[in-house]
Structure 1
Amino acid sequence: MSTTSRGALTSTSTVNMKPLVPTNNVSTANGMTVRARIDPTLTVEDVVRQLCINLKIKEPHSSFALRDETDELVTNDNLRKKIKGKVNLKLVNAPAREARDIAEKLRQRNEKNLKLTLFSLQKFIREEQFAREFLNNDGLAELVEVIYSTNGNTLAYALTAMQNLMELEYGWSTLDGNFIFRVVQILSSPQSLINVCRPATAILKKLVEADPVNMPGPQAASSSKSPPAPPPDSVYQYGFSVVFEQMRKERGMLETVINRLGSADTAMAQYSMMLINSLLSHASDTRWEEFIGELERLNVRKAVARRMNLHTTEDLTSCILDFQANMIRVTYRKKTTPVDPEADPIQGDALDFIWESSGLQVEQNAGGHPLKWRNLGFESEDIVHEFHEVGVLGLECLHKFVQGDPEFSKVVLEQLSRPEERRCPIGKASNEVVELLSEHWAIFAPGYSTSTTFQPFFMDFHRAHSLATRFFFRMWSESGAATGDFTRVVALVRSQVKVALRSENVRKWHEVEHDFLESEYKKVRDRQMQELELEDDLLSKIPVRNLRNKLYKESYEFVRQQRIQCLLQGAWFVNALPQGSPRETARRPSRPWRFMRLDTGMKYLHYVDSAVKFPVRNGLEDLPERIDISMISEIATGTCAPPPNVLRDQNDLPPSSPLVASPLSFSLLSAHEGSLADQIAPDQSRWADWTDGLNMLRRDGGHVASKETAGFVQALTEIGLKIKLLDLSGEMVEIPSGLVAGPPPPSTDFFFSELM
């Protein structure tokens, strides 16, 4: 390495002279700048040692390090890249030394320098050497004290430093309930600055996800009902219950977070959405009903639906699709939760309200048996059994329907005035509509959603249920239906649900209302008859629906594993440029190609940039750089353009035109670092593999981004269903619409034989 002085330094010395090696400017703390030819085969320690010798620095070389102009630490992994790029470097304090200095400054709490100290801390805290020394010098306790005692921009810097520290999987296990409550209070205050709320929200999200069930390594037991207790120093000791316990102490906290979904600051809205998604994904069984009930009371679905219509939605697409997937899980859980009015007073109150709104009195039939729920269109007086298939979701929908119709009693009396066989079974019809809507929105399982577009109508499930139920009543009357025609009317409603709720990402509610309230019976019937010619009535039977649900879960998991396998194999991509950049200023990068591969631990994306494609060996030896999967908060699509002269379809544009985003592009976005990678896939299949595979890896993810993946899941489900049905339909076996359980045994004096 040779050094040539500039300014105060007048002497020169030569060590390992490499005349063909690029020259880098290296500046020192006292304002001196030297030109250095650095041998790229040296280690960073050797480079620093030689610089200290050449500059006659008497302190040990271990006290110093190199950083670039952006303060990124120069390491053995990126040294060669810095040298080739002729990047300007700085000889600065080593991370460990800097950490000790900053920890001491926090202890002294000098108000004049505190803000600058915290500004440096938030940058350096991600570096492992710095972080370990900072923690060893009791820096975490000092940082917590600053968070307790400051406000404004100083607090914002302190919270951002804490947020960045928590990206490490060690060192912050001593954060207690008081600290969590302090963060909750900061978030609850409408007066808190946006730059304060963003890191505070991210800290809570990280604490929610630091659940023992997410603990990495062989000790993890995500599928176990009782995961093992984490080690005392593990950060995986928080989770939903710990955070929610502190949230409950601040009544307006959730409401404030939901209100921020409408913030003009897109980043603030994104942080808030991500926190809500994490809470939904990790909600514990003991607090689930309380938490979901509070979200529903605060109209979180309506807030998200409003956000769908704003012009700034593009940056939130992934978060909104995650929320939809979470709502699918919530709806499925409600549908599969049995109604138990004795155990849940809220359910008992809902049933009482429904009955009182009917205006009826309990009667007795000729046999002396009570007539109550059968007069409301249920098949028996066992109301718990009547909601067996639709669970709490069915009860909620009927309750909302009755609440929304002030003349519900007239509807009931009108049906009771008809001959018994001509009465529309109100309760049974309501439950059937719940089934039809669940089928329409693929609420089959607690797994992932395959919707690739916004579903604002699903966000108001109860409204769609009320409209479809009224349509059911109207079709019953206009068709002159009798008891035996129930299945025929259900078929009419199923057909209309498909029509009224189609293309919901572009249609408006008034169009849905028109389709349900104004459609003529004859037109609906004619269309439904045409559909019958193309469909098999067998597919609408309940046992077949249940079989489809089971196959759907299997198909989704199969496709999910296939997508992740594609990430483990790796692929070549084009390094992209920001959309809209002028073509005349955009140049072909020296290394336009990037190969990326997921490691077997599924924690990092390893990659290498290259001027040309080359055969990449198995493993990670050829892939020196990496991206932490936990840092990825969103996989944005259609965001960037190929550089000139790399992809042909972009090269025919006029020179003055801006670069146009490729439909095969995607960006890996971090909540606080911007874009971690901007890539363009070679084809549609590779694009779908990677965008969906990466979404499925995220702890708070779960949605599907491509129609290709969604199509695969649906196609596999339908193919599997038809294969299963061939065994039955080929033998002309009659499949019943439902099975009626026989009477229970009169005593326990029986046994089950073993079938050989």
Structure 2
Amino acid sequence: MSNHNSVPPRSPSSSTPPTNGSQSKIGLVPTNNVITSEGVTVRARIDPTLTVADVVRQLCVNLKIRGSPSDFALRDGNHELVTNDNLRKKIKAKVDLRLVNAPDKEAREIAEKLLVRDPKTMKLTLYSLQRYIRENEFASEFIKYNGVAQLVDIISSSQGNTLAYALTAMQNLMELDYGWASLDEAFILRVVQVLSSPQSLINVCRPATAILKKLVEADPSNAPGPQAGSSKSGPAIVPGSVYRYGFTMVFEQMRKEKSLLETIVKRLGSADTAMAHYSMMLINSLLSHASDARWEEFIAEMERFNMRKAVVRLMSQHTMEDLTSCILDFQANMLRVAYRKKSTPINLETHPSHEADLNYIWNHSKLVEEVDGNGQQLKWRKLGFDTEDVELEFNDVGVLGLECLKRFVERDPDFSKVVLEHLSRPVERRCPIAKASNEVVELLSEHWAIFAPGYSTSTTFQPFFLDFYKVHALATNFFLRMWSESGAASGDFARVVALVRSQVKLALRSENVRAWHEVDQDFLCEYRAVRDRQMKELEQEDDLLSKIPIRNLRIKIHKESYEFVRQQRIQCLLQGAWFVIALPGNAPQPRESRRPTKPWRFVRLDNSLKYLHFVDSAAKFPVRGGLEDLPERIEISAISEIATGACVPPPNVLRDYTDLPPTSPLGPSPLSFSLLSIHEEQGSLADLIAPDQSRWADWTDGLNMLRKDGGHVSSEETKGFVDALTEIGLKIKLLDLSGEMVEIPSGLTAGPPPPNTDFFFSELI
């Protein structure tokens, strides 16, 4: 390194050229401005082959700075620490460098200032802390000097911008997987209280929301590496690990502030779209990690505050591209909720709420319990069940079916009149209302692929699905009307079910672009029009595919297909790919259409599935296996969303892609995607353009499937693969049956249970 004209000037503001100091290596290397803490600017040629420690040492000697060189470090204008990994890049880019305190020294000084609590300097100290605390060198020393305890104390006792800076510092600290295991329930309650207050500032609510989300996800089951202390009751908490919190600990504090969930729901409609984004991420995290013990209570609270309706409003109002991914995540989570309710059996002994719902239904029917001719109870059969065993009657639709029937009764003030009208008919002409309700639940579950937890292939918004109960009510009323208009008898139940299935498919088509009044209108169709259309459909369909065993087989194959495609997408990430480095859609366009010096980036996921490693290059080259050729990396956990179609291609680069569709150089590329940071101020971690549609689908869906709170797909291609594999697998399975001319029943009825336990299952040979 060499200095140009470098003797300390007479004063920090003097412009007198300094004299030459000692020299190390002088050559054709870039010249950087180096600014000292006193404000002195020195022009220096830095050899990029030196280490940062050598550069700092020579600067201290040349500038005659007192103190040990180990007490100093270099940062760029954005306060990013200069390391051996990025030194070469910063020298070549001729960025201005600042000679500042080393991270460990800075950490000690900030910890001491927090202890003093000087109101005049507190905000500035916290502002610096929130920038530096992400760095391991700084954080380890800050933690060692009891800085975390001081930060917690400040959060507990401050307000306004001071609280905002302190919470942001804590949020940034929690990006590290150490140092915050000492946070206790009192701290969690304080964060909950801050979020619960409608008066809290937006810049306070954002980091508070992010902190709660991180605590929810810091469950022992999410700890990296094998769980040495795992048992049947779950993974053990490793001493000193930050993975000791989780949903249960956070929800216990949330229960103390009843208004928290309601406030979060209201913030979904905030004019500050970033606040809506943070709130959506917290909601998705809570849904994804809800514990079995508190699941029902949490979902009930969420439903009470109309979370679904708030998200539906967000679908039409959102202005941020990354909110799309959050909403799709929410849909996937609600699909898991629906599946869990559907697979949870009714139990009148252990769940008083189930008995209360049944009593509500019965009381609003205004029927009287009787005894039939055989001396048996006649109650639930009056509502249309086949037996008096209601637990058995709801066996296929579970709690979801019970809730749908209750909501159906709530929506119709004339429910008792409907029941009495059907009971007034001859027995064979009565419509089994309760049985019809359960069948509609099955039809809607089939339509929206409520197959199993964790599987969602919807790539568009589904506002009708989020109002499942309303659609159920419309379809059930349609069922009753079709029964009456067609003059159906007891043996025509399957025929009416087929009519309703056909109408459900028609009414719920393209739900991301249709309005509710159109759905209402479709369910008002007359019987003759529905029947004529259904007959045309039957000419093109195979009746075999509508049978219940075949539908169940399709569900099983769909789950297997989804997991197969998921693994394939992740394998593509592990192999890596070349992309063009894009410009953000809102970035100013360059005046000159000059090709970037390094327009290409190769990205590869590491085997731990935690980091994306990459290298930027002027031209594509053969990349070796492993990570040796990929010096830079992005942490997967630092990615909040994968936004698509919002990046602009750089000039004179996309012409190298022969298989890309022609686009305007100023318009967003449909094959672009951005990795958005969990920190709003950082914006995008990477803006890339894929070489083709297949590579775009591989990476956008693969990255979404990696996220713990994700699980949705964003491309029609991936959805198409899952659907195609499902259909192929189903047809292959059916060849084994239809080839043998095996008769497949429309449904299977379980026989009565054994009278005792004196039996065994024989082995088939």
Counterpart residue number, 1:4:
4
Contact 2:422 2:431 in 1 (8 A): yes
CA apart distance, 1:746: 4.4
Q: Do residues 594 (structure 1) and 606 (structure 2) align?
A: no
Give the letter aligned to residue 554 of structure 2.
R
1:54-453 alignment to 2 at 5 Å? 54-219=62-227, 225-312=232-319, 314-453=321-460
Q: Give 1:689's aligned residue.
A: 698
Q: Note if 1:492 corresponds to 2:487.
A: no
Going from structure 1 to structure 2, the CA distance change for 1:201 and 1:743 (only over 3 Å counts) comes to closer
Q: Which residue of 2 aligns with 1:553?
A: 559
- The answer to whether the 8 Å contact 2:593/2:652 transfers is no
- Contact 1:23–1:36 (CA<8 Å) still a contact in 2? yes
In the other structure, the counterpart of 2:719 is 710
Partner of residue 740 from structure 1, selected from 718, 730, 749: 749
1:649/1:351 CA distance change after superposition, 3 Å:
farther
2-side partners of 1:288 and 1:221: how far apart?
25
* 1:723 partnered with 2:724: no
Deviation (angstroms), 1:714: 1.1
Partner SS for 1:660: coil
**Deviation by residue 1:713-746 (Cα, 9 ceiling, x = unmatched):** 1111111111111111111111112222334444
Bigger mean CA deviation after superposition, 275-284 or 523-532: 523-532
Code of the residue aligned with 2:705 in structure 1: it is M
- Does structure 1 residue 609 correspond to structure 2 residue 616? yes
Tell me, yes or no, if the aligned pair for 2:229 and 2:237 is still in contact at 8 Å: no
Q: 1:671 to 1:537 in 2, by over 3 A?
A: same
Aligned match of 2:683 in 664, 669, 674? 674
Shift of 1:582: 3.5
CA deviation profile, 1:502-525 (whole Å, cap 9, x unmatched): 1111101011001002x1211211
Give the residue type in structure 1 aligned to 2:710: G
| Deviation at residue 457 of structure 1 after TM alignment | 0.3
Q: Tell me the alpha carbon deviations over residues 37-61 of structure 1, each in whole angstroms, 9 at most, x when there is no partner.
A: 1111111111111111111123111
- Are 1:650 and 1:660, in contact at CA under 8 Å, matched by a contact in 2? no
**1:27 pairs with one of 14, 18, 35:** 35
- The letter of the residue matching 1:102 is I
Q: Distance in 1 between matches of 2:175 and 2:292?
A: 27
Distance 1:308 1:749 in 2: 58
Q: Distance in 1 between matches of 2:299 and 2:247?
A: 13
2:576 corresponding residue in structure 1: 570
Equivalent residues of 2:648, 2:665 under 8 A apart: no
User: Which amino acid letter does the alignment assign opposite residue 589 of structure 2?
Assistant: P
Deviations 1:256-299 (A, max 9, x none): 01110110101100100100100000000000000000001111
- Could you state the TM-score of these two structures normalised by the residue count of structure 1? 0.97
**Structure 2 residues not aligned, in runs of 5+:** 10-16, 659-663
Deviates more, 1:332-341 or 1:520-529: 520-529
Contact 1:212 1:220 in 2 (8 A): no
Deviation at 1:539, TM superposition (A): 1.2
* Residue range with higher mean Cα deviation, 9-18 or 160-169: 9-18
Contact 2:346 2:391 in 1 (8 A): yes
Amino acid at match of 2:352: P
**Partner-residue secondary structure (3-state), 1:714:** helix
Partner of 2:661: none
Measure, in 2, the Cα distance between the counterparts of 1:286 and 1:437.
Answer: 28
AA at the equivalent of 1:118: L
Partner of 1:606, secondary structure, is strand
SS in 1 for 2:121: helix
Q: Which residue identity is paired with 2:550?
A: V
Alignment CA distance shift 1:365-1:334 (3 Å): same
Provide Cα deviations, 1:679-718, integer angstroms capped at 9, x if missing partner: 0000000000000110111121111111111111111111
Is the alpha carbon distance of 1:585 and 1:262 closer, same or farther for their aligned partners in structure 2, counting shifts above 3 Å? farther
Output one character per residue of 1:638-671: Cα deviation in whole Å (capped at 9) or x when no partner. Answer: 01011011113999xxxxx871100000000012
Q: 2:650 touches 2:665 (CA, 8 Å); kept in 1?
A: no
SS of equivalent residue, structure 2 residue 299: helix
Q: Is the 8 A contact 2:31 2:94 kept in 1?
A: yes
Partner of 1:18: 26
Output the amino acid matched with 2:735: L
CA separation in 2, counterparts of 1:37 and 1:313? 44
Which segments of 5 or more consecutive residues in structure 1 lack a partner in the other structure?
A: 652-656
Counterpart of 1:750 in structure 2: which amino acid? F
Maintained 8 Å contact 2:675/2:686: yes
- How many pairs were matched up? 749
1:467 match: secondary structure: helix
Query: Following TM superposition, by how much is the alpha carbon of 1:370 offset from its aligned partner in structure 2, in angstroms?
Result: 1.5
Partners of 1:279 and 1:253 lie apart in 2 by 13
Spell out, residue by residue over 1:553-587, the C-alpha distance to the aligned partner (whole angstroms, 9 max, x if none): 11111011000000000000000012254363564
Looking at structure 2, the residues matched to 46 and 479 of structure 1 have their Cα atoms a distance apart, in angstroms, of: 90
Question: Shift of residue 334 of structure 1?
Answer: 0.1
What residue is the counterpart of 1:654 in the other structure?
A: none
CA shift, 1:597, in A, is 0.3
User: Cα offset for 1:315?
Assistant: 3.4
Distance in 1, Cα, partners of 2:710 & 2:235: 25
Structure 1 partner of 2:634: 627
The one-letter amino acid paired with 1:323 is F
Which moved further from structure 2: 577-586 or 101-110?
Answer: 577-586
Using the TM superposition, name which of 583-592 and 81-90 deviates more: 583-592
Letter in 2 for 1:411: V
Other-structure match for 2:14: none
User: Are 2:397 and 2:438, in contact at CA under 8 Å, matched by a contact in 1?
Assistant: yes
Q: Give the counterpart letter for 1:270 in structure 2.
A: H
Deviations 1:441-494 (A, max 9, x none): 000011221100000000100000000001111111111111111111111111
Distance 1:206 1:316 in 2: 19
Partner of 2:650: 643
Residues 266 and 315, structure 1, Cα contact 8 Å, conserved in 2: no
Task: Kindly provide the CA deviation profile for residues 311-342 of structure 1, in whole angstroms up to 9, marking residues without a partner as x.
Answer: 52533101100000000000000000001122
CA distance 1:714–1:220, shift in 2 (3 Å): farther
Please tell me the residue identity of whatever aligns with 2:697.
Answer: A
Separation in 1, partners of 2:756, 2:196: 60
CA distance in 2, matches of 1:745, 1:667: 59
* Sequence identity (%): 74
Query: Which sits farther off after the overlay, 694-703 or 606-615?
Result: 694-703
1:527 aligns with 2:530: no
Residue aligned with 1:90, SS: strand
How many Å separate the matches in 2 of 1:90 and 1:451?
50
Query: Cα gap change, 1:328/1:381 in structure 2, threshold over 3 Å: closer, same or farther?
Result: same
Determine the C-alpha separation between the residues in 2 that align with 1:350 and 1:204.
Answer: 34
1:73 positional shift:
0.4
Q: Within the alignment, does 1:52 sit opposite 2:92 as a pair?
A: no
Secondary structure of the residue aligned to 2:684 is strand
On the 8 A contact 1:220/1:227 being kept in 2, the answer is no
SS where residue 741 of structure 2 aligns? coil
Query: CA–CA distance in 2 between the matches of 1:463 and 1:73?
Result: 55
Q: 1:649 to 1:22 in 2, by over 3 A?
A: closer
Residue by residue, what CA displacement relative to the aligned partner does 1:155-212 show, whole Å, maximum 9, x if unpaired? 1000000000000000000000000000000000000000000000000000000000
1:285 counterpart SS class: coil
1:294 and 1:311, CA in 2 relative to 1: closer, same or farther beyond 3 A?
Answer: closer
